[in-house]
Amino acid sequence: MMCLGQIAITSRTHHLTMMSSMRQRPLCSRSNHVSQMSSAINSAMSTTQTGTVSFVPSVSYRQFLHPDVRQKTYRCSSRNRYGEFRSHFRLPLSKVDALTDLFLDNGWIKPTKRCSDEGTLYIKAQLHILAALDVLASHTCFRKLRSNTEISTKEHQKFFHHFLDKLVSIREDYVKYPDSFEELRPTLERYSSLYLPGCAGSIDVVHLKWSNCPAGDRNRCVGKEKFPTVGFEVISDNFRRILAISCVQYGSRNDKHVVKLDENVDRIRKGWYKNVSWKHFDREGRECESRGLYLICDGGYLRWPCLICPFKHESCSTQKGYFSSNLESVRKDVECTFGILKKRWKILEYGIRFNDIKVVENIFIVCSMLHNMMLGDAETSDSQIRVGRGALLEGDAIWLRNDTNVPVASDNVAAVEWLKRRNELAAHCEFMNRCAKRHRTS
C-alpha cells in the first residue's frame, strides 16, 4: 500500500508563502508555479541543518504532491485512469484540489497549532482527503492509514466521518432530480431519440453488503443474497448520471415495496411531472399526445403509469417484442451505473464495515456524488448504437426516515392506464422502426 504522506513542522512561525499563494490561484494556473514552490520548500528543508525547521516529507508526498512532481501528477492522473494515482484514489489530482478548496473555503478544515500557516494546512487537508478517498476506493482500514501517514487512527476516523457529513450536506449540488422542465429537457430528448418519448430516467434498486449489520436487524436485512444487505432505489439517465437516490431500506424488501416508500417516485406521480405532455405516433403514423412522465424499469415493479416495464415472453419479431427488446437495451444503463459504482469504490463491493446505518447511507451518497463529479472526465460517445441488450411488521421502521405504513391494495385504474400507455409506446416504437428502415433503404 502506498504511503500517503507526512509533514511535521516544529516551528510555528515559519510560513510557506509560495504554497499559500498557490492555493489562492485557479487550478489551471497552479502548474505554472511548481518551480517557485519547489525552491520555497527546498529552502525550508535546507534550514533543518540549523535546527530551525524540521520538514520530513514521506515517500507518497515526494511521489505525488511535491512541487517537483506535482505537474506530472496532474498530467498523468488526468490522462491515464489506470495510472498509479488513480488506482489508489480514483480521482485525478485536479478533482482532489477542488475538494480541498471546497473544504478550506467553507471552513470545514481549520488551522491547528501545528498547522497554523495556510500552506501547511493545504497539504494536511489534501492528505486527509486522500486518506478518505483511499478508504472508499480500496476499502483500506484506518490502522493501515495510521502506519502509512503517521497520523493517528483516531484522527483518520474522525475526519472520515467529517468528510462524509460535509459532502452529504451539499448532495443537491451533485445528485438532484430536475426541478424544472428546462433542466429535464436534455434527458427527455435523449430518450425520445431512443424511441421512448416521455421517459424521464431508468429506475432500479441496488443492494449493498452490510458486513457489520447489528444482530437485531439481521433478519430484516437478509434477503435473496443470503447475507445482510441494504437497498437504495436509484434513478439514472441514459448517460449514467445518478439523478435521485432513495433513503436506505432493509435488504429483505423487494422492489414493489421500496417504490412505495420512494419520495422521488411519489413526486413524479403527484407533482408537476404528471402534467408534462409528450407526443408519440400510433401504428398508422398518426400523431397523438399523452400526459405524465414515466420511468423505465424491470418486471418487478408495480403497474403504475409512471413505471413502464417490458412485456414478458414476447418474440422480437412482434410489436411488443421489439418494444421490450429496445426498452431492456436502454434500461441497462442503470445496471451499468451500479457496476461502475461497485468497481470504482470497493467499499460498496466488499461490504461496508460500519455499524451505524446512517454512516452506511452517507457512504453510498458520497460515492454517488463522486461518480457524478467524474462524469465530466469520462470517455463518452455520441454513437446511437446501444450494446448489451440483454405484510409489514409492527414497528418495522426503527431507523428508516419515511413512513412504512403503505397501502397494500392495488389501484385498478392505474393498472389500466399503465397497460394503455405501454401499448401506445409499443406502437410508437414499431412505427419509428419502420420509418428508420425506409430511410436506410431509400
Return the number of other C-beta atoms located less than 10 Å from residue 279's C-beta.
12
Q: Which of 375, 409, 404, 372 is closest to 248 using CA atoms?
A: 404
Using pLDDT thresholds of 50, 70 and 90, give the confidence band for residue 83: confident
Distances, alpha carbon 338 to alpha carbons 253, 304, 370, 411, in Å = 18, 24, 14, 31
pLDDT of residue 181: 93
Q: Whole-number mean pLDDT of the chain?
A: 80
Tell me the HSE value of 87 on the side-chain side, using a 13 A CA sphere. Answer: 7
Bigger pLDDT: 53 or 149? 149
Name the DSSP class of 180: S
pLDDT in tens, 109-129: 998 888 888 888 888 888 899
Picking from 277-286, 298-307, 393-402, which range would have the lowest pLDDT averaged per residue? 393-402
Query: What number is the average pLDDT over the span 424-429?
Result: 89
Least confident window among 50-59, 222-231, 380-389: 380-389
Which residue has cell 433503404?
441
DSSP conformation letters of 57-100? --HHIIIIISHHHHHHHHHHHHH-TTSHHHHHHSS-HHHHHHHH
Domain boundaries, the chain: 17-169, 173-378+391-441
